[in-house]
Amino acid sequence: MAAIELVSPGNKDRKDKRRLFAAKCATYLTRGVGLVVVDIVTRRKKNLHNELVRLLGLDTTFEMLGPPPLYAVSYRPLRVGGRDQTEAWPVALAVGEPLPTVALSLEAEVCVPVDLEATYAETCEWKRIKDAL
């Protein structure tokens, strides 16, 4: 099982909303569900990845430094030596640049590529067709 979460402006609106989003993501990871979070919200400057890192009690080296960036992060939950661990692979995004391909963890040893740019393009095309009907 795996999940892809797209951050919305409402997820970043207030502290309780940010905490709720991070709690939902933490629940996925603690249940062994692979996760990708994509944050392309430019109007609200909070970093939900850092909120998740703090909630999970991960080392501060996992946090993103500097002004809150646009980003995608792939998370892989693992159980090593009887302990839960989380690996994270952040990718910086930029307005006007193509979205990256990210790894979506299905199991500890199985990741599949998710081409975010192709998915976005297909969704835009589908939406135009749907709106024209």
Residues of the chain with pLDDT under 50: none
pLDDT for residue 41 = 92
Write the CB contacts of 29 (distance below 8 Å, at least 6 apart in sequence).
Answer: 35, 56, 75, 77, 86
pLDDT for residue 66 = 82
pLDDT for residue 84 = 82
The pTM for the full model equals 0.89
Q: State the Cα–Cα distance between residues 107 and 129, nearest whole angstrom.
A: 36
Q: How buried is 35 (Cβ within 10 angstroms: 0-12 exposed, 13-18 middle, 19+ buried)?
A: buried
pLDDT for residue 60 = 86
